[in-house]
Amino acid sequence: MSQTTLIDPVAFLIAHSSRLFMKRHEMTTEAFLALDAEKDILGFLKTGYEPFHLTGDEGILDEIDAYVGNSVKTVISADPYS
């Protein structure tokens, strides 16, 4: 009998999209978490899972950018590691 590992598709989308967002904006994990504390990006992704899972990576990233607006620039410029 083979063992199957089940991956929660919502958790995967959240983790994958968050990682891509950090890469797109050259953010540290700490900067992303600060922005999430302000804007609840993870909650946004969880709530929007149904339409997002049918959208490509670039579309999801564009949606996150629109959702957070100019906040990403504020958090990045305040990042002590940059």
Q: 8-27: per-residue pLDDT in tens?
A: 999 999 999 999 999 999 99
Domain count, the chain: 1
Q: How far apart are CA 53 and CA 56, in angstroms?
A: 8
Domain limits for position 24: 18-77
Identify whether 2 is part of a domain. no
Q: What tokens appear for 81 in the block?
A: 């590691």
Does 47 fall in a domain? Answer: yes
Q: Is residue 50 part of a domain?
A: yes
What gap in Å lies between CA 70 and CA 41, rounded to an integer? 14
Domain assignment present for 3: no
Does residue 42 fall inside a structural domain?
yes
Domain assignment present for 31 = yes
Tens digit of pLDDT for each residue in 50-82? 988 888 999 999 999 999 987 666 555 555 555
d(CA 69, CA 72): 7
Q: pTM of the full predicted structure?
A: 0.79
